[in-house]
Structures are given as structure tokens and as C-alpha cells.
Structure 1
């Protein structure tokens, strides 16, 4: 193939290469970049000539990156993020800001952090809009692809090139209907394991800490029901003998038709905020990070919820079953 001068390639072409690599298709990259597919095809053809490599080859009905393409993209990510940091203005006025902030998180963070964050944004930065992506087990990939600016959750990876800030810590409690026979006594491990459980499966893409801790001990719960989200558990548990194991802050948000009991496997965990160098130097994103951290700092500690759990137990014991 005829050679194109590599120094004639601009940053936009390099960004196109990364987008094709991440999306796995020319059409997907075109949609992300909001350009025609023919523009993407032309750009990749110029890059092939400049870099002297096919970059992508046909594989079944899709495309696959060459080994050299993978190496090139790995080097480009840091370079493009550094350039974006250089090109980003430092001054930031929330009241005058306009843009999109994207978050990857799950039900817990949407319950505990997101409502107050939206109130802050509407009051102080009404020109900012928010897109929320379901994280489950793919939040890290969403963050690295640039689909989201921030990832909030119980992070289980520690990849290089990421920034992390601790937001909250929590632990698990048991939730059940007031009429459940287990509601009138303290749960030991044996009665907990043999009870009928409603387990949040998160679509099979995430496993809660308490389940991982039990598995380490070779223990499997008597799972009677699996649900993809904890959103409707309060209603589901009513009038049944099922119990569910949930983070204490999530359990505390349920109505008084259910009772909360200490869990024999509390399995403490942390909620972190994670971002990449792409947004590290952005004044807008720095301001949003600061607000998220401030909101998390104002959330009552899980120990305060334990005191409420004990009070709730006393009330529940006085209710005729």
C-alpha cells in the first residue's frame, strides 16, 4: 500500500481508531462520533497507509483488531487523554456550565447518592445534564471506553491509570416480613442458611459480598427466588417466609411492612468513586467529584442505621404476628 506521512494524521483520526477498536465496528464508531460510516472508513484507510498495517481484519460477520493495532490503541489512550487535559480550560463556573456528565452505578448509588447530586446540579449547575448507565459487572469497561465519566460502586479491580476516592462503607442486614417466624428472634448462621432466601442476582453480572464470604466457607444459601434488582423486594417479601440480605442503607429505605435484623454474615464493603485521566484535569468533572464526595460525607454512617435497626426490632417484637 502507498505510504501516508504519519505526521499528517491528526488527533481526530487517532480518536476514530480508538472508537472503532472499542466498539468493534465501523458503524458503532460512526454512531459514537456522530459522523457517517464512510467518514470512518476513509479515516481508517488513511491510518492503514500511515501505520503500514491492516489494523482491522474481517472475522465472521464482524472485524478483529490486529496485534499491532491493539498495541497502538494501548499507547494512544494515554496520549489522547493527556491532550484533552491540556486543551481543557481551567476556569469553571457551575452556573455557566453546559455539558453532559455520565455515571456508571447500580441501585445502591442511585438510592443513596444520586437524588442529592441531582438537587445540587439543578440548583447550582442547571446547564449540566446527567446520563446514568447500569454498571453491574461492566462498569469498569464503560469507564475505560469513555461511555461514562465516573464509576460509583463496590469496586473489585485496581487497574493502572485509574483514580479512586472512598465514598462510603456499609454492611449487610436481613430483611423480612413482620409475620416471618424468624423476625421474632436473633438469626444464627444455621437458621439463616436454611431459611428461604430471595437473592438479588444483578442479572448474573455481579455477586454480593455476603455471598462471596459464604462461598469461602463452602456455604450455599437456600435460594428460593432470584431477582435481578432489589427495587421491588419490599413488596415481594410481604406475606411470605422469604428473607433477603441487603446493604443496611438500602434496607433502611424500605417501608415499615418489613423488619430489619442483623445478618450473621455482615460482609462489610466500601463504595468508591473511580475515574480516568480523561477527566482528571477537567474543571467541570473535578467540581462534580467534589460534590459527590461532599454528599457522601453527609450520609449518616452505617453504625447509625444499626441503632435504628435495634429500635425497629423492639417495635417489631411488640407487633402481634
Structure 2
């Protein structure tokens, strides 16, 4: 005997309860003819009439009555197995994995960890580096979310902009530039600069379709302003990341361009001072990336909302 597919068993289960083809079709979202066709296939597979027409509707045969409770229980068990469990943050011990760079770790993670400690005290947050195979890790559920300067992602991924960041210039605390007013391009170019040069923005073969802004450089806005003013700057050192730039700026006479929120974190420690850019600055979008289909998972939907709420307070 051929095992009938689950769709036929679902039709059987509803028809056994309704004893009416029209009502069964309405519950299943099927036409009357589709229900009849499914019933005929099931009759053939099981070699039994299963239902016969009577004065009060479709009457089940002894075989249908015998198998009915077992089919109903099996379908319910399968539905429960395929459904995501309810998520209660207060009692859940779930582990969330976030792929993020230094910026998100410094700016977003502290407040996020604090909120998790209050609202989901038994859960765990794992923050991992932005690896080249990050899309594969998200696809395989090894990573739940990616946070960064993602400007494009494949269609299967959602991309929510959670922060809009501006850029500022940073120098060591007590630097002579901090006492200059106003700060002009001429003043800004009077000291050497720290350039962040980790590589170009790219979509690599290991993550096709994912485009990430490689650095916090201001999309040529500063260079364009210099060209207009017929000025040049002197580069003192090139470093691979913003943290290195901030560390060098805090211990030298050089100036570095950095995201405002990260600069404010360093400024709170008294290590650096902040200078507003004396030219039009573009903004940079920080995005949260995850698989669209996972929003039907209560835990993922809850964490997505929490990250968005935390970002809105920064």
C-alpha cells in the first residue's frame, strides 16, 4: 500500500470532523471539487471508501472511524514538532549570536547587554567577528544577526537601518586645535591626519550580494572639500581600524575621522576631544541584517525588536 501524503490526511481529518465536503473545503481553503479529488486519491491509496453519502452528510466507514483518532493525533504531533516554541524572555535560556565589528561592540553592545540582563536574565549573547563567510553562517543559523555598515544584501535577507551615524574629527585631550575657533579647513589641515584604510568596499565571492562599507571614511566628502578649497592634507599614518585611529590620536598630535558615537565613548574617558567637521558631512547607515523567514520565530522577532529599541535610545 502506498503511504498517502500529509495533505490527503489533513483533508481526511477535517472531513471526519465536518462530515460535509463544502464545510471541509471552506476550512482548508479548497474548492469542493479539490476536496472530492483528494478523497478519491485517499480511497485509492487505502482501498476503502472511507466516507459514503447519507441523509445527514458524509458518513465515515468503520475503517475511517478506526484510523481517525490516530491520524488526528499524528497530525497534531507533527504540527507541534514543526511549530516554534513559545518564547518567554524571563525564563528562556536561549543563546543569541550577533556578528558585529568594533563599532557595534562599543556603541550597541553595552546597552543591549544591560537590557538583556533585565528582561532575559537567563539568556546568553555571543558577539562574534564579521567573518568572510557571515552569510553562510546566517543561512545555517549559526549567526542570528549581523550589525554593520551594510549597504546591500541578497533578497532573502532583511536589512533594517537601526542607526544613522555622523562623523567627527578626533584629537588628543588638550590638543591646541580644541582651543581654536572657528575650526576651518585650513586649521584642520595644519596637523597630520590618521587614515583608516582597511580596504575598499566590496562584495566578495564568499558573500555574494553583501556590500559592506569597509571604513568610516566620509565617502570623499573631506577630499572634495579640500579640492574645492585648493588645499592638501598630510597623512601621518594609515591604520586598519577606527580603534587604532583613536588610540593613535589620543597619544599624538594627529587628527582622525571617526563615527560620532564611538568618538563620544572615547571622549567620556577624557582621552580625546571632538571637533565638528567644517564642511558638509554625509551620514552613514548602520543596519541589522537577518534572514527574513526567521521572523516567524518568536525568539528572533523579540531580539530584533529589542535591538531596534536599544539603537533608538543611542
Q: Secondary structure at 1:148's aligned position in 2?
A: coil
Picking from 270, 278, 287, the partner of 1:272 is 287
Query: Partner of 1:116: helix, strand, or coil?
Result: helix
Match of 1:132 among 114, 127, 130: 127
Cα deviation for residue 268 of structure 1 reads 0.8
Q: Distance in 1 between matches of 2:86 and 2:120?
A: 15
Could you tell me which residue of structure 2 aligns to residue 260 of structure 1?
274
Paired residue for 1:294? 309
Residues 89, 175 of structure 1: alpha-carbon distance in 2 compared, 3 angstrom cutoff:
same
SS at match of 2:195: strand
More helix by share: 1
Question: Which ranges of 4 or more aligned residues in structure 1 deviate by more than 4 Å?
Answer: 136-142, 202-205, 214-221, 232-235
Q: For 1:252 and 1:282, how far apart are their aligned partners in 2?
A: 36
Q: Is 1:103–1:151's contact at 8 Å kept on the other side of the alignment?
A: yes
User: Which residue among 247, 256, 261 is the counterpart of 1:249?
Assistant: 261
User: Residues 143 and 267 (structure 1 numbering): CA distance in 2 closer, same or farther, change over 3 Å?
Assistant: farther
Q: Which deviates the most, 138-147 or 248-257?
A: 138-147
TM-score, scaled to structure 1: 0.57
Q: 2 CA distance for matches of 1:218 and 1:138? A: 38
Distance of aligned partners of 1:190 and 1:137 in 2 relative to their CA distance in 1, 3 Å threshold: farther
What SS class does the counterpart of residue 92 from structure 1 fall into? coil
* Contact map agreement 2:193 2:237 (CA 8 A) in 1: yes
Query: Is 1:208 matched with 2:204?
Result: no
Unaligned ranges ≥5, structure 2: 1-80, 202-213
Query: How many equivalent pairs are there?
Result: 217
Which residue in 1 is equivalent to 2:82?
87
TM normalised by structure 2 equals: 0.59
Cα RMSD (Å): 3.4
Cα deviations by residue, 1:67-87 (Å, 9 ceiling, x for unpaired): xxxxxxxxxxxxxxxxxxx93
Structure-2 change in CA distance of 1:87 and 1:191 (3 Å): farther
Q: Provide, for residues 209-239 of structure 1, a one-character-per-residue CA deviation record: whole Å limited to 9, x for no partner.
A: 4144456779685332223333355543235
Say which one has the larger Rg.
2
1:236 aligns with 2:248: yes
Residue 282 (structure 1) aligns with: 297
